[in-house]
């Protein structure tokens, strides 16, 4: 087999979005890769783009053993460690990269991001400012700086950073989200610490199309039932009840003609069929790792996950009052669907005053739970690849059932 032709074919498959085929193509020649830093780096980085973490890591580590002064290898291993919840190792990798390539703007950005994830916000801001001295016209870095300033409650500084991103790239949705969030936080009163518990919520989910089979709904229902002191009402909105357990209550999809995640927007309509009161929405591809009681009885009026990666929210776990935010649905239309990346961008724009879940209650798998969920965590969420059904970590088998 011609190695170069096979590698080129894998690249072409990747460019066409045929991920599984590209991985299979690489696997055919995996044992034939020459033991040279150049070849190992190329294959390792390609596996990395394809999400094949274990194979990527093996090649990149060996390449670094051969050529420890290649800054790109340290950067790639930093990406790997950050994507697999090894944040301290990622920090070491990004620092090693910058020691070899001190003028690397990308290295400074990722140093800032991992420091942000570690909660070292002052250092994160310094790193992002250093990145902007190297590439002052990058709107993405201004948005990251704004996000860190939001977390530091420097709202005026955040608005300035997001405003610069918007100036550099008119129509930048993340900058718009950041500006309205900062404005809302300035106006928000201090949280009411006297109220400690709300009425238990009804759990709801949405199944549309064939992306997730009925087993995802059945397992979610099972996890909810096991992890509550008293089993809450559980309602699935779907157009297809085939394969669902008979004790799962079903309702028709609340939006007409909406696809995929856009169906979540319709949950905010003022006459959501068959449910009322407080609702705890869960994505189908979550894994519940501890008692849901604190989420079901949280006193907040509208509570949502922070987005760890960009300004805005993660809509995988939301608590809200049925019909209390009807404008999220009534103001939504084709124009919003065309310009936004997903429902959570729209929710962030229309409900910038939302409260965030307490730190680490709800976390992304890759960033926080690839090895094991933190002790504080109640729900682990999955975005893109992998899904819980891909069996990406041994601990998942104990919970996703």
Q: Is the pLDDT of residue 244 over 90?
A: yes
- The domain 202-398 is placed in CATH, from the list 3.40.50.11540, 3.40.50.450, 3.90.550.10, 1.20.1440.130, at 3.90.550.10
Among 260, 203, 206, 195, smallest CA distance to 226 is for 203
C-alpha distances in Å from residue 345, one per residue of 78, 212, 334, 363: 28, 22, 14, 18
Give the domain ranges of the chain. 3-146, 147-187, 202-398
Smallest CA-to-CA distance from 174 within 23, 298, 50, 348 is with: 348
Summarised one tens digit per residue, pLDDT across range 274-313 is 999 999 999 999 999 999 999 999 999 999 999 999 999 9
Asked if residues 108 and 125 have their Cβ atoms less than 8 Å apart, the reply is no
CA distances from 191 to 283, 301, 355, 400 (A): 27, 11, 9, 34
pLDDT digits (tens, 9 = 90+) for 83-121: 999 999 999 999 999 999 999 999 999 999 999 999 999
Average pLDDT, the chain: 95
What's the mean pLDDT in 228-252?
Answer: 96
pTM as predicted: 0.93
Of 122, 113, 105, the C-alpha closest to 78 is: 113
- Percent of the chain at pLDDT exceeding 70: 98
Mean pLDDT lowest among 129-143, 246-260, 269-283, 342-356: 246-260
Question: For domain 3-146, which CATH number applies: 1.10.10.60, 2.170.120.12, 3.90.1150.10, 1.25.40.10?
Answer: 1.25.40.10
Dihedral over alpha carbons 304, 310, 316, 319 (to 10 degrees) = 10
The whole-number pLDDT of residue 361 equals 98
- What distance in Å separates the CA atoms of residue 329 and residue 347, rounded to the nearest whole number? 9
Confidence check: pLDDT of 351 > 60: yes
Euclidean distance between CA atoms 50 and 35, whole angstroms: 21
Question: How would residue 198 be classed by pLDDT, with cut points 50, 70 and 90?
Answer: confident
Rg, Å, the chain Cα set: 22
- Band (384; pLDDT cuts 50, 70, 90): confident
Closest alpha carbon to 313 in 351, 280, 278: 351
Query: By the 8 A CB rule, do 233 and 202 touch?
Result: yes
């Amino acid at each position: 087999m011609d190695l170069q032709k096979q590698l080129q074919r894998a690249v072409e498959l990747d460019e066409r979005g045929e991920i599984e085929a590209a991985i299979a193509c690489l696997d055919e020649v995996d044992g034939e890769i020459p033991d040279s830093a150049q070849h190992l780096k190329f294959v390792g980085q390609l596996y990395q783009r394809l999400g094949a973490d274990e194979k990527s890591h093996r090649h990149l580590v060996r390449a670094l053993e051969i050529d420890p002064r290649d800054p790109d290898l340290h950067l790639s291993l930093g990406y790997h460690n950050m994507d697999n919840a090894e944040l301290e190792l990622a920090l070491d990798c990004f620092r090693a990269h910058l020691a070899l390539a001190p003028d690397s703007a990308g290295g400074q950005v990722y140093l800032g991001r991992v420091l942000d994830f570690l909660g070292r916000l002052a250092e994160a801001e310094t790193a992002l400012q250093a990145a902007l001295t190297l590439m002052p016209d990058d709107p993405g870095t201004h948005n990251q700086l704004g996000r860190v300033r939001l977390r530091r409650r420097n709202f005026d500084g955040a608005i300035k950073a997001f405003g610069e991103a918007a100036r550099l790239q008119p129509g930048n949705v993340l900058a718009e989200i950041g500006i309205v969030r900062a404005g809302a936080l300035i106006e928000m009163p201090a949280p009411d610490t006297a109220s400690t518990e709300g009425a238990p919520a009804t759990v709801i989910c949405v199944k549309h199309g064939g992306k997730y089979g009925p087993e995802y709904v059945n397992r979610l229902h099972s996890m909810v039932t096991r992890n509550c002191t008293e089993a809450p009402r559980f309602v699935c909105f779907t157009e297809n009840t085939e394969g669902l357990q008979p004790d799962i209550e079903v309702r028709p999809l609340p939006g007409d003609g909406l696809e995929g995640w856009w169906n979540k927007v319709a949950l905010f309509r003022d006459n959501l069929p068959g449910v009322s009161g407080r609702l705890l929405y869960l994505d189908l591809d979550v894994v519940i790792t501890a008692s849901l009681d604190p989420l079901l009885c949280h006193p907040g009026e509208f509570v949502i996950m922070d987005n760890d990666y960009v300004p805005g929210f993660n809509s995988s776990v939301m608590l809200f009052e049925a019909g209390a935010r009807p404008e999220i649905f009534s103001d939504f239309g084709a124009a919003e669907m065309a310009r936004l990346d997903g429902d959570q961008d729209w929710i962030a724009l229309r409900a910038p005053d939302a409260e965030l879940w307490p730190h680490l209650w709800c976390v992304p798998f890759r960033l926080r739970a690839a090895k094991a969920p933190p002790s504080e965590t109640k729900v682990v969420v999955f975005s893109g690849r992998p899904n819980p059904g891909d069996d990406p970590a041994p601990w998942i088998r104990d919970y996703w059932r």
